Amino acid sequence: MTVRPNPVFSGLPISIFQHMTMLAQKHDAINLGQGFPDQDGPESLRAVAAKSLVEGPNQYPPSRGLPELRQAVSAHAARFYGLTYDPETEIVITSGGTEALASAILAMAVPGEEFVLVEPTYDSYRPIVEATGAIIKTVKLSPPGWRLTEQVLREAIGPKTRAVLINTPHNPAGRALSREELEALAKVVLETDAVVICDEVYEHLVFDGLPHIPLATLPGMRERCLRIGSAGKIFSLTGWKVGWVSGPAELASVAFKSHQFITFTTPPALQLGVAHGLTHEMDFPLATTARLQKNRDILAAGIARLGFEVLPCEGSYFLTAGISGLTNEKDFAFCERLIREAGVALIPLSAFFKGGTPDTYVRFAFCKQQSVIEESISRLEKYFLPSS
Ligand code: PMP
Ligand code: GLN
C-alpha cells in the first residue's frame, strides 16, 4: 500500500515558530522568536472566564458565537473605526485569528481561480489557500520600505482575482499600511470583483501616534472586506484562541458556513471573558502599545550598535533587521547559531517567502518585559562585542 496524503501538508516542515521555540527551550535561550507576550493580560477577563468555567455555560455555544461577544465586537468596530456590523449577520466568532483566516479563505478561494497573497506572508495563509486548489498570485514587498504600490498591485490583481489577503499592521515587516497605500489597493480592487481579507490582528499595536486604518473604512470597501480580529493579541492572551470575522452579511455568511465545519464553535467561558474585555478593558491594549513602543526603541538602539541593519517598525510585535553586516551566513543558520551560542532566539525572515529569499533578515519579537529585552541585548553584546 502507498498512502498518498495531501502534499500541501505532508511536504511542510514544522512551523518556524515551533522550531525556534523548541530550540530555544533546549538551549535555555531567551525567546524573541515566536510572538507571544510574557505577561498575561487583564485579570478581570480571566476572572470572568474562570467563573463561567465553574458556573457554566459549558455546553456548545451558538456556532456564530455568543451574542454577548458578537455585540462587543460590533461595538468595538463602531467605537474605534466608525464601522457598523450587525451582530446577528455580520460577525462570526472563531477559535483565534488563525481559524478566522481559514474560514475566510475557504469562503473565498476556488480551485483554479486566482487568490492574491502579499509576501512576506504570515505562515498560516499559503497552505490553506494551496489546499483549496486556488492559483496563488503574489504581491512582493521589498525591504527596507516594504511598501505597497499601485504598480505591484496591478501586476497581481485583475479580473480573475477572487480575493486578496492583506495584513496590517504586518507580521513580520512591522508596517502599518498608510492611507495612500490602502487607497491604491482600493482603487485597483474596485476595478475588479475581488474581495479583500484583512488580517488586522495587531490593530491596536500601532506606534508613534500613527493610526490603524482598516481598508473597510475607505469608500466602497466595506462591502468588499472580511476583517479578521484576535482577542489573543488585543489582551495578551495568545493561548485563548478567540478571534472573529466581520464583514457584510453576503460574505460573513459564507465564512460562517466554513467555520461550522472547522471548529463549529469556541469555548463559551473564553468568549465571555473577551466580551468583558472589549467592553471594560480597552485601556489595556492602549497601555501595552506604549510599553511595547519603548521596548521597540530600546531594542532598535541596542542591536543597531551591534551592526544589525534595523528596519523601520510602525506596528505589530516585530522588528526586522538585516544581518549582512554581521555574517555571510543565511538567516536560518544565523538564527540557529544565535540560539546555541548567544542564548537569544529570533526568526529568519526567509520563512515568510516562498522561494526562501531574501535570506539576510531576521525578526525580533519585542512583546516582552523591558528587562527581558535588555537582557537579550546584553547577551548579544557579549557575543558580538566580547571585549567591550
Ligand atoms: N495573523 C497574524 C499576522 C499573526 O501574527 C497571528 C499570530 N498570532 C495570527 C494571525 C493568528 O492569531 P491567533 O493567535 O488569534 O490565532
Ligand atoms: N503569530 C506568532 C508569530 O508570528 C506565532 C503563532 C504561532 O506559533 N502559530 O510569532
Q: What is the CATH number of the domain that holds 271?
A: 3.40.640.10
Task: Taking residues 29-51, report their average pLDDT.
Answer: 98
**318 and 269 share a domain?**
no
The answer to whether residue 343 is domain-embedded is yes
Average pLDDT in the chain: 97
Q: Closest ligand 2 atom, CA of 17?
A: 8
**236 and 108 share a domain?**
yes
Q: Find the 297 Cα to ligand 2 centroid distance in Å.
A: 22
Protein residue with least CA distance to atom 4, ligand 2: 35
The answer to whether residue 185 is domain-embedded is yes
For residue 108, the enclosing domain spans 43-280
Domains in the chain, number: 2
Q: Which pLDDT value is given to residue 355?
A: 86
Q: Find the 96 Cα to ligand 1 centroid distance in Å.
A: 7
Q: Which pLDDT value is given to residue 251?
A: 98
Residue 250: all three cell numbers together: 453576503
**206 and 329 share a domain?**
no
Task: Taking residues 49-69, report their average pLDDT.
Answer: 98
Does the pLDDT of residue 387 top 90, yes or no? Answer: no
Task: Taking residues 110-115, report their average pLDDT.
Answer: 97
Q: Which pLDDT value is given to residue 116?
A: 98
**260 and 120 share a domain?**
yes
Cis amide bond preceding 285, omega within 30: no
Q: How confident is the model at residue 77 (pLDDT cuts 50, 70, 90)?
A: very high
Question: What's the rounded Cα separation, in Å, for the pair 367 and 318?
Answer: 8
**170 and 54 share a domain?**
yes
**135 and 197 share a domain?**
yes
The predicted-structure confidence for 162-203, as pLDDT tens digits, reads as follows 999 999 999 999 999 999 999 999 999 999 999 999 999 999
Cis amide bond preceding 61, omega within 30: no
Q: Closest ligand 2 atom, CA of 172?
A: 4
Q: Which pLDDT value is given to residue 217?
A: 98
**194 and 94 share a domain?**
yes
**200 and 69 share a domain?**
yes
**125 and 164 share a domain?**
yes
Q: Please state the pTM of the whole predicted model.
A: 0.97
The answer to whether residue 70 is domain-embedded is yes
Last residue of a domain, one of 280, 309, 331: 280
**Read out DSSP for 179-246?**
HHHHHHHHHHHHTSS-EEEEE-TTTT-B-TTPPP--GGGSTTTGGGEEEEEEHHHHTT-GGG--EEEE
Last residue of a domain, one of 280, 297, 325: 280
Q: Which pLDDT value is given to residue 357?
A: 85
Instruction: Give buried/exposed letters for 6-19 (b at 16+ CB in 10 A, else e).
Output: eeeeeeeeeebbeb
- Say yes or no: CB of residue 98 within 6 Å of ligand 1: yes
Q: Find the 35 Cα to ligand 2 centroid distance in Å.
A: 5
The predicted-structure confidence for 116-152, as pLDDT tens digits, reads as follows 999 999 999 999 999 999 999 999 999 999 999 999 9
Q: Find the 100 Cα to ligand 1 centroid distance in Å.
A: 9
The answer to whether residue 2 is domain-embedded is no
**353 and 310 share a domain?**
yes
Last residue of a domain, one of 248, 280, 312: 280
**12 and 90 share a domain?**
no
Does the pLDDT of residue 291 top 90, yes or no? Answer: yes
Question: What's the rounded Cα separation, in Å, for the pair 1 and 83?
Answer: 55
**244 and 154 share a domain?**
yes
Does the pLDDT of residue 84 top 80, yes or no? Answer: yes
Cα separations in angstroms, 241 against 238, 332, 363: 6, 28, 23
- Say yes or no: CB of residue 103 within 6 Å of ligand 1: no
The answer to whether residue 1 is domain-embedded is no
CATH number at residue 365: 3.90.1150.10
The predicted-structure confidence for 315-372, as pLDDT tens digits, reads as follows 999 999 999 999 999 999 999 999 999 999 999 999 999 987 899 999 999 999 999 9
